[in-house]
Amino acid sequence: GRTPTPGDLEVSHLTFRYSDQTRKPALRDVSLTFARGRSYALIGRTGSGKSTLAKVLTRAVDIPRGTVFLGGTDLLDLDLEELRRWIAVVPQRTEILAGTLAENIALFDPSLLHRAAEAVAELGLTAWVAELPGGLATRLGDGGHVLSAGQEQLVAFSRIMVRDPQVVILDEATARLDPVTEARVQQATDRLLAGRIGIIVAHRLSSVQQCDEVVVLADGAVVEAGPLASS
């Protein structure tokens, strides 16, 4: 596999149909440019194709050659495992594993353990970690310390941050957060997306306002794409 040059993420005339989808395709002739350093709110009704687009961009589904490019390189020419480090997805639900917070952040990859503290600091979460009973050594999952849904998101962000990807896709959780956690999630989101390509499948109005651009999907097609007028 090749290392992509840092650059834009481009989708060109992509039509995608799930193999068991007999009628209309999930994505229809989608063309979009996601520019480095900018963040995009991806919105649309249920079934409009938001999650499918996220799957396409990580090659979680098969796509035709010549439809998606990262830094000018066809996604199909990139090593799949590496690709998933360059284009990272924060899922809607975070799975917490039995282990320490640091192990959860590194996903038990010994070569990433030493990056956990750094990632937490880069996200502005040092104070939050200090409030936990054992800091980065706090045991989570399976009888360990229990995190709130919002705190689980902070773990998910830290997991992405240690891997330093070029593109971050955030499938935002719908859960209500307490004000303190909400503020932390907001700040961590900003820091996670800074200097990268950020794509937020937005469920909260607040994150839409933070984004530079908005993309609206309807029935698998892009019906609107452009800069968000800031207040």
- Among the listed residues 12, 18, 66, 137, the single contact to ligand ATP using CB under 6 A: 18
Least distance in angstroms from the C-beta of 145 to ligand ATP:
30
Per DSSP (E only), the strands in 38-133 are 39-43, 68-70, 73-74, 87-90, 99-100
Strand-strand pairing, 221-227 and 213-218: antiparallel
Instruction: Count CB atoms within 10 A of the CB of residue 160.
Output: 21
150 binds ligand ATP (CB under 6 A): no
- Among the listed residues 47, 64, 72, 227, the single contact to ligand ATP using CB under 6 A: 47
Stretch that binds ligand ATP, among 39-47, 66-74, 114-122, 189-197 (CB under 6 A): 39-47
Please report, for residues 36, 43, 132, the alpha-carbon distance to residue 227 in angstroms, rounded to integers and kept in the order given: 14, 14, 39
**What residues does 215 pair with on adjacent strands?**
42, 225
Please give the backbone phi and psi of residue 41, each rounded to the nearest 5 degrees, phi first: -90, 125
CA distance 97 to 117: 18
39 binds ligand ATP (CB under 6 A): no
Least distance in angstroms from the C-beta of 162 to ligand ATP:
27
> 184 or 204, CB closer to ligand ATP?
204
Site residue total, Mg ion (CB under 5 A): 1
Least distance in angstroms from the C-beta of 20 to ligand ATP:
5
Strand-strand pairing, 27-34 and 9-16: antiparallel
- Strand, coil or helix: what is 75? helix
Least distance in angstroms from the C-beta of 15 to ligand ATP:
13
Residues 44-103 close enough to bind Mg ion by CB under 5 A: 51
> 174 or 231, CB closer to Mg ion?
174
149-161 and 179-193 are packed helices; what angle lies between their axes, rounded to 10 degrees?
A: 20
- Among the listed residues 44, 150, 165, 198, the single contact to ligand ATP using CB under 6 A: 44
Residues that bind ligand ATP (CB under 6 A): 18, 20-21, 26, 44, 46-52
